[in-house]
Amino acid sequence: MKSILLLMGPNLNMLGEREPEIYGSETIEEHVKQAERVANEFGYKLEHFQSNNEGELVDQIQNARGKHMGIIINPGALTHYGWSIHDALAAFDGVVIEMHLSNPNQRESWRHTSVVAPVANGSIIGFGIHGYELSIRAFHKIIENDDQRT
Ligand code: DQA
């Protein structure tokens, strides 16, 4: 199960059309392709799921147990108040990378809190579409180090 789950939350289906000056002009399909390309380079399979519904994201996180080595998650606005995402990730037994295209800390103050960060191994923020490569590299480093310890 050398596989990673890439999860995206509300409004990320609108990538390319939605505030391109903040999120870039690439569509969600292009984002997923980019992530898949890098994951495959590192020898991982990548599964992708986007939803505008919090509960569906929770279901995906629960179902990832024993199936995926890790989750890269951009929870969209749920980052800032989605406690059920926090709790589902806390119960997940693999690596969790939080990823944001923009840098929420440079934006409105309500975006400065992440309820996901405390249950993530780390966060990659503000690098746009390059964030997938950085996230997968970081994920791979964590897995490699874990292997060395066992
Ligand atoms: C986002 C940042 C969030 O604050 C926002 O609600 C999003 C996208 C990002 O990728 O920069 O939907 O997660």
Ligand 1: residue whose CA is nearest its atom 1 = 76
pTM of the predicted model, to two decimals? 0.96
Between CA 84 and CA 21 the distance in angstroms is: 30
Ligand 1 pocket test, candidate residues 102, 113, 127, 129, most atoms within 8 A of CB: 102
Give the nearest ligand 1 atom to 22 CA: 11
Q: What is the pLDDT of residue 108?
A: 97
Q: Ligand 1 centroid vs 2 CA: distance in angstroms? A: 28
Neighbouring-strand partners of residue 71: 5, 96
Ligand 1: residue whose CA is nearest its atom 12 = 76
Ligand 1: residue whose CA is nearest its atom 8 = 76
Angle between helices 54-63 and 83-90 (to 10 degrees): 0
Q: What is the pLDDT of residue 1?
A: 67
Q: What is the pLDDT of residue 149?
A: 61
The tens-digit pLDDT sequence of the chain (150 residues) is 699 999 999 999 999 999 999 999 999 999 999 999 999 999 999 999 999 999 999 999 999 999 999 999 999 999 999 999 999 999 999 999 999 999 999 999 999 999 999 999 999 999 999 999 999 999 999 999 887 765
Neighbouring-strand partners of residue 122: 97
Q: What is the pLDDT of residue 147?
A: 76
Q: What is the pLDDT of residue 150?
A: 55
Q: Ligand 1 centroid vs 142 CA: distance in angstroms? A: 25
Between CA 13 and CA 144 the distance in angstroms is: 32
Domains and CATH numbers, the chain: 2-149 (3.40.50.9100)
Continuous segment of H or E residues that includes residue 122: strand 122-125
